[in-house]
Structure 1
């Protein structure tokens, strides 16, 4: 991230509720359900007073669809970045996900062990690096502006507390993000600060 003279305000939202091609785990994008579309419209309406300059989204279809609905409501453009996508399922692809194949790795990440890796997938360090690179790009492109980033619950709960200097790494252990739940961040020359998490103000 460059030397930001004016803070960029970045609102990171989880995508709307989605349906999927199969009940088996995969990295396929799925698509918004009718509930997800309604949630996305509500998100767009809630952001009308934020003067959003652009919407950035993951390349997964449920995020792109959410971003497009919000962008249409706000009259702004959409930019897609692969680095904002959910962490990959790795060797769990094609399984039912019961029991949760990611629980041990995700717990290790929240505990600070970013070398832990989803079997056949990404390490915490790799997830953090590609996600941070996009948020830094967004902040550099929108100094003094407000933008919306549409992403995914797991990666948001893992990465955002690591970036924000006023959050503990395990901040989200008991605070999961609902569909279209938002985290408000500000980026300046000193780094990232969280201002709110799923409707709750954050101190510091």
Structure 2
């Protein structure tokens, strides 16, 4: 199975966080869907170094503060037409706070936006997975993208395909509009690597804002890993990085 790639217009160096315009665009071009992709706030398992995957882990105190900071920032920018979210509570709770501040009556839940299922790695601490689940560890870090993770997990290609398809479906409904999508580190990583064809997405930070333009299946990142709104709140510096022992 080939790596999932999409048409793109721009390559971004993932080592450099590119902030978006704090005031937001005046308007979105009629043939473009602007998707603001947000990673959920920090959770108890993020803080403790435990792998979440599709298991539930609640926002911690820091995570709620981050969600509030995201919501405050986005409420000052161009109003979104809709807000979409993963069904997992850490994303949905972040999305609900954004929706309240942006005066959007409901959050649309899209199951395909949930985090990657990482099989038998779910619930383990990152530092112990190589010893406890060597086969799953190998599949997770392998460059062979069609390897499914033992224990019911997805391959990286499967994650890419559902994530890209979900965004393309959302974009098709919102030409000339701005929408917000709240999802997970693994999903963001998959989308970034599919669009830019980079070998790594770098750190995908909790509560980061990432702006993507989609036009006729051409994808263009306008900003990546922007956490300027968290200056007074703080965030985990290690972020999520599926290419290393960070999370």
Question: What TM-score, normalized to structure 2?
Answer: 0.68
Q: Alignment partner for residue 188 of structure 2, among 137, 140, 156?
A: 156
Deviations 1:89-144 (A, max 9, x none): 21224544433456644443xx5x32122223111221112111210111011111
Gaps of 5+ in 1: none
- Whether the 8 Å CA contact 1:8–1:139 is kept in 2: the answer is yes
The answer to which of 26-35 and 186-195 deviates more is 26-35
- Among 147, 150, 157, the residue aligned to 1:119: 150
CA change 1:103–1:78 in 2 (3 A) is: same
| d(CA) in 1 for partners of 2:211, 2:217 | 16
Q: Which of 141, 151, 160 is the aligned partner of 2:173?
A: 141
Number of the residue aligned with 1:61 = 89
Note if 1:179 corresponds to 2:206: yes
Q: What's the Cα RMSD here?
A: 2.6
Residue 29 of structure 1 pairs with residue 60 of structure 2: no
8 Å CA contact 2:163, 2:190 repeated in 1: no
For 2:123 and 2:213, locate their aligned partners in 1 and report how far apart those are by CA, in whole Å.
38
TM-score (norm 1): 0.82
1:85 and 2:114 correspond: yes
Deviation at 1:59, TM superposition (A): 0.5
Which whole-Å CA distance do the structure 1 matches of 2:185 and 2:43 have between them?
12
CA distance in 1, matches of 2:226, 2:49: 31
Give the paired residue count: 189
Aligned residues of 1:5 and 1:189 also touching (Cα < 8 A): no
Higher strand fraction: Structure 1 or Structure 2?
A: 1
Q: In structure 2, list runs of 5 or more residues that go unmatched.
A: 1-28, 131-135, 228-247
